[in-house]
Each structure stands twice: as structure tokens, then as C-alpha cells.
Chains A and B, each alone.
Chain A
Amino acid sequence: MSRKISVFLIIGLLLVMLGVNMTSFAKTETLKVTAEAWYFNKYPMEEAAQRFQADHPGVTFEWSKAGDFEVAPLMLAWSRNRYIADVAIVASPSEAVAFQAKGLLLSFDDVLVGKYAKDKWLQGFLDQCTIDGKVYAIPSDAEVMTLIGRKDFAKEAGLTDANGNIIPAKDLNELYSYLQKLTVKDSTGKTTRYGLTVNWCSEYMVYAYFSGIQALRGSIYDKNGNLDFSSKEALALLDFWQKGVKEGLISTSSLVDHSGPRNDMKSGLAAILWEDHARVIEIGKVVGQDKMQIVPIPGADTNGTVSYTMSLMIPKNAQNPQLAKQFVLEQMNADWFAHDLMDKWGKLLGLKANIEARRDDPIWKTVYSLADKSVGLPKTVDHAKMVDIMTAEIHNMLKMQQTPEKTLANIQKQIKPLNLKPIK
């Protein structure tokens, strides 16, 4: 009897073990995606995961939500060979340079074929993700610097054509005359509506400055290949800003609040915004999309502007790198994902096809044209220090503590010891 029981037990045990082994045949693969927490709330990541799961049964997803500006700790963890994620969504490609400098990233070159081939992407965006000729990040959440105008205010000021569209200013002088017409002051001389509001908050400061330089002279570099802080256009731009602030035509709300300019626009406190194109959707939701128009910075229609992008990266120690690349391309660059970003937030992805589908819309037509001619800021070792110096000096100028000439001279002097050699 006891022998029978023993046999039963052994057979039972074997079956259980076999059962356990059978479950391991149905292998699940997990894709871990890390980004700042807001990214998951803002973008349709759940839907992207579900769609990917439908095409790739057995794949599960894990969202790893990081705090704001937590790139450095990520980098430290990766460099100690710790597995953090399969896909990392990071603020800007200039950070990709830092990751790549430590050899922490995988290249996308092997999957950029067919409809994802390199020539299918907006070059200005893809260039920002390219290091030593290899693509180490996929652009996401991309934006181009531009002017966004209120058509109704412009119409009041007589600055629109027969169709009610704002006539783009040809140069800074003409733009200045626009601001004079758009600005409204009360009986005490206090501005109740600014002609222009510019985002001068740290990183935006650099985008605003170089978008002006690119638009005015067709390049952000001087004749020696260094970032331009010495041309007559650079001086004209700073002069335009300072004069506008001094005369109450340009709002300085962004000096300490990066949301200041968009709030100026939403509340009707400003008629034109100098920031990224995506604000057009956000502001339009408040004041009415029919009142909004993308207007190129003077010269940008021919010379282009500056663009910037977030980046999707695959860490070298990812556990499912190929699957991660597939997810990034198949879902996070799909038409539906791109259009969701565009419609809800005004953000762009990098594939031309995604935007071309919307070119009938005047807003997207202008944005596409600007994006196609846009350039990214160079990836440099000391980029953050340059941002810091530029912000401090230009803020001092806007507070009338120094002249534009002195501002440019101070910037040149302080950036001299920095390593601002572009990493190609």
C-alpha cells in the first residue's frame, strides 16, 4: 500500500514539475519604459502598449516613472551596468551625447530601413539624434521655434490680409512697428496688452536667441564655425528685445516663470508669442483655434529656424533591445500616435509622413515648412554651462543693467574657456 502511495506521489510530483516547466515555454517578454512621470499622463502610452501587444502577443509592459530632471541618476545607474529600462525617454538629444560619451546607448541604424529609412525623417530632427554618423535616439515631442500670433488683435491693428491672416513681418524693424501697433497702454502709460511675449527662461532663452539668429542670417555659426555671438544680426536681435522691453512692448513675464508667456497669450495680455509652435494648440484651446496663426520669425520662411526634440533611447544594458526598437518605431512613431500628439499638444514626431498627412491645415503646413528647414543646436560638452551664462547675461540686459554690446562681449568672454565644439 505504501509503495502504491509512493508511486502516486512521485508521479504527481513529476506532473507538477512538468506543469511548471510547460508554463515557462509560454515565455513573456517585458518592456520596461522609463520617462518623467508627466510623459505617461500626457501621451497615450497605454494605448501604444495595447496595440503593440496585439501585434506581439506575450509582451508585457512596465512603466518606470521618474521625477523631473532625473537624467543624471539614470546615467549613474546605467554606467554601473544596472538594468533600468528597455526604452528611456529623455529630455533632449544633448543628453544623449552624455550617455553616448559613456558608451551607454545602442544605435538604431540597423532598424532605420524601409519606411523608417533615414531620408524619411525630418533632417533637422534626426541630425540632433545623430552622433558620429549613427542615430542613437529617435526624436519625439519635437518643436520648432516660431512666432504665434492672435489674428483678431492683428486685424484690429490692421496687420492682416484680405483673408484675415497676419502678414508676416519681413525684418525686425517691421516686426517692431507691428509691436507698436499691437501694444495697448492705459491712461497711466501702463501696458495692458503687450505686442510680444518671449520665452527667455533658461533653455528657452537659448532657443529663442538662436532661432532669431538662424532666421536673420541663415546660420547659427559665425565664419569660424563657432556659435554666433558677434554678428550684426546678433546685436540687432538683442537691441530689438531690449528696446521692446524698455518701451513696454514686450512682456518679461518669462524671466522667472517659464509658463509666463503662454499665460500672457491665454489671458489676452499679449498679441504675439515667440516660443515653440506647439503652444498654438494649448493657447487655441483657451482663446479659440480660429484666432491663432503660426507666423515665421522674420527671415525664417527662407532661412529656417531652430528646432529641438526629446529623444527615445535604448540603453546598452536593455534586456529586450530589439523589441524595444520595434515598439519605438511601430507604435511611438505610428500615424495614430503622431496625430494624437499633434492634435492634443501640438508636438511633432520625426517621420515626415506623419506630418504630411496634415498639410492641408494651414497651421501644420507652416509648421512642416519650418520644421523641414530647421536646425538643431549643436551637441556640446558644455552646453548647460552656456545656457546658464546666456540666461544670466541676457536677463541682465533685459533688466536694463547692461547694453546689448556689453551683453555679447560678456557672453563671449565667459564661454571662451568652455568646450562648445560641436560633437557631430
Chain B
Amino acid sequence: MVKRDPRKRNNFIVSWLFVLPAVLLMGAFLLYPLLSALRISFSEYNFVYSEKPVFNGLTNYIKLFQDPHFLVAFKNTIYYTLVFFPLFMLIALCLALLLNSKVKGNGIFQTAILLPIVVPLSLAGIMFTWIFSQDFGILNHLLANVLHLPNLQRFWLGDTQTAMNSLIAVGLWKYTGFGIILFLSGLKAISSDIYEVAKVDGVNSWQNLFYITLPNLKGSFSLVGIWGIIQAIKVYDQVVVMTNGGPGTSTLVLYLYAWKNAFSFFNMGIGEAIAFFTAALAIIISVVFKFVLKPEKG
């Protein structure tokens, strides 16, 4: 008969006691609401007019795909992600490389690039609403009166062709700084020895970039990429502040439509279903991205 070590048992209990407060808090404020929301997503529940949620299986999820506004929101969110994500990665990487190369005035560049991080997106939204204004905006003013390109003037937020791209521009302005920080930390982690050895071997700058820097940034790519995907799919703030989904439904995105269903139409069941669908979408795309960047074995 194997005798249990009482010290091990005590350690087990003590370690659980240490994590118990965190587990309880997470359970109460994260897990319980999450499970409760998941249950509601499978229920018919208008919280004003229904007594209580009534389980209706997959009906809410099926209804989503019969709702033209949901389909538009889905399409718009995918468009936002497809345009935002590569631009975000490319700009963040290029600027991180630039800042890492110790150019003159680096400190000023760093401050300028990182400043948008501390500006709340809602505030940035108001600021850009004015910048993009058709009649009073500085962008149209610059195009017409400084650059003398009046033909390029647009009703940036009021035109279905340009509204979503304007929102993407705001998203890039806001989030690229954070991507730069993550890439910079990856760049700093690459040992200078590798570059010195490469220099001895006569490797040029492009070869440095493609054979040393980028392969060594795979971890950062994964982190920045997943973060970027999540920011793109959960786009909400600037849309609410700047266009509220308009004109028409040209900038309606999934989270905005979830909010509308939950807190404007009071249809919690549908609202939760959209929220879980959006979360699932973010997870799937992130997993695919992670899989694509999987390090080669051997």
C-alpha cells in the first residue's frame, strides 16, 4: 500500500487557497456572466417584454443569417479586417524597423507615433469627424487650398464609398503605435551577435532583413497579428462616434449591431448570439493565423 505524503497534500491545499480568491473572482465576474450570456444566446429574450428567457435552441443563430442587416454587418466587419489587418502589420513593422535603426530625431518620432495610444478612441472619433467634415474639415481644406487638388475632395464619412475606409484610417492611427511597441520589443530581443557575424560574412541590409530580422520576429508577428485581428473584428468605438453605422448600413459592424439588438431593440437573445458569433469569428481567424505562422520543426 502506497502511503501519501501529508506534506504534499498540505501543499496542494495551501496552493489552492492562494489561488481561490482569484478563481472565485474570475468565476463570479467572468465565467458566470459568460455562461449566462451563452445561455441567453440560445433563448428568446426581450428583456422588456419577456418574463424570462425561453430556450429556443439555435433559432437566434439561424435568424441571424436571415437578417439582411446582420449580413451587411458581417460583410463590413470582414472588409474592415481585410483592409485594416495587412496595413496595420505593414505600417507597424516598417515604423518599428525605422525606429530601431537609430535615425536622427528618433525620440520625437517615437513620441509622435506613440501619442495616439493615450488618446481615447471616442475622443479621436470626434476629432476625426471634424477632420473629415465635408464643408468644415481640414482634410478637404488641405486638398483644395494647399495641395490644389479640389477633385480629391470628398464627403469622407457621408459617402458609402469612403466612409468605411475613413474609419479604417482612424483605427490605424490609433492602434499602429501599439503594434510598433510590440515589434520593437521583438527587434530589441534579437542578439546583436547575429548581425555582427552576418556582417563578417558580407551580408547586405536586405539579406539582414529577410534572413535574420524577419525570421526572428515570428513570435512578435504572432502576437501583433492576433492583437490586430481582435482589434479589427471588435471594431466599435469609432463607428459609434463617427458614423453610427451610416450612411445607410455602409459602416454597420457586428459589435454595433449586437449593441443595437441588445440595448436599443432590447432583444438580448439576438444581441448575445451576435456577440458570440463575433467572438467565435475572432478566435477562428486568430487560430488560422497562428497556424500559418507555426514555427517549422527541425
The residues of A with any CB-CB pair to B shorter than 8 Å are 69, 72, 75-76, 98, 101-102, 188, 201-202, 252-253, 255-257, 263-264, 267, 269, 381-382, 384-385, 388, 391-393, 395-396, 398-399, 401, 414
A401 in contact with B242 given A267-B135, A382-B265, A384-B264 (CB within 8 Å): no
Q: Which residues of A contact B158 (CB under 8 A)?
A: 252-253, 255-257
Judged by DSSP, the binding face of B is loop
Q: Which residues of B contact A72 (CB under 8 A)?
A: 47, 262-263, 266
In the docked arrangement, what's the CA distance between A388 and B257, Å? 10
Q: Which residues of B contact A252 (CB under 8 A)?
A: 155, 158, 247
Q: Which residues of A contact B129 (CB under 8 A)?
A: 256-257
Please give the distance in Å from B69's CB to the nearest CB on chain A: 7
Q: Which 7 A-B pairs have the closest CB atoms?
A: A395-B248, A255-B247, A396-B248, A98-B48, A255-B158, A395-B247, A256-B243
Residues of B259-282 at the interface with A, using a CB-CB cut-off of 8 Å, are 260, 262-266
- Give 11 A-B pairs besides A72-B266, A256-B157, A256-B246 with Cβ atoms closer than 8 angstroms: A72-B47, A75-B48, A98-B48, A202-B244, A253-B134, A256-B242, A384-B266, A388-B69, A395-B249, A396-B249, A399-B247
A392 in contact with B249 given A253-B134, A256-B243 (CB within 8 Å): yes
Please give the distance in Å from B277's CB to the nearest CB on chain A: 19
Q: Which residues of A contact B69 (CB under 8 A)?
A: 388, 392
Q: For the complex, count residues of B whose C-beta is within 8 A of A.
A: 31
How many inter-chain residue pairs (CB < 8 Å) link A and B?
Answer: 81
Q: Which residues of A contact B263 (CB under 8 A)?
A: 69, 72
Any A CB within 8 A of the CB of B231: no
16 A-B residue contacts at CB 8 Å?
A72-B47, A98-B266, A201-B244, A202-B244, A252-B158, A252-B247, A255-B157, A255-B246, A255-B247, A263-B136, A384-B265, A384-B266, A388-B265, A392-B252, A398-B247, A399-B248
Any A CB within 8 A of the CB of B163: yes
In the docked arrangement, what's the CA distance between A102 and B52, Å? 12
In the docked arrangement, what's the CA distance between A201 and B243, Å? 10
Judged by DSSP, the binding face of A is helix
CB-CB nearest in chain A for B158:
A255
Please give the distance in Å from A209's CB to the nearest CB on chain B: 15
Residues of B116-154 at the interface with A, using a CB-CB cut-off of 8 Å, are 129, 133-136, 150
Q: Which residues of A contact B136 (CB under 8 A)?
A: 263, 267
A-facing mask of B235-263, CB < 8 A → 1, else 0? 00000001110111100100000001011
A256 in contact with B247 given A381-B49, A382-B265 (CB within 8 Å): yes
CB-CB nearest in chain B for A394:
B248
A391 in contact with B246 given A101-B49, A255-B158, A263-B136 (CB within 8 Å): yes
Please give the distance in Å from B251's CB to the nearest CB on chain A: 8
Any A CB within 8 A of the CB of B165: no
CB-CB nearest in chain A for B267:
A385
In the docked arrangement, what's the CA distance between A401 and B248, Å? 10
CB-CB nearest in chain A for B72:
A392
Q: Which residues of B contact A257 (CB under 8 A)?
A: 129, 133, 157-158
Any A CB within 8 A of the CB of B160: yes
Q: Which residues of A contact B49 (CB under 8 A)?
A: 98, 101, 381
In the docked arrangement, what's the CA distance between A76 and B46, Å? 12
In the docked arrangement, what's the CA distance between A202 and B264, Å? 12
CB-CB nearest in chain A for B261:
A385
Q: Which residues of A contact B260 (CB under 8 A)?
A: 384, 388
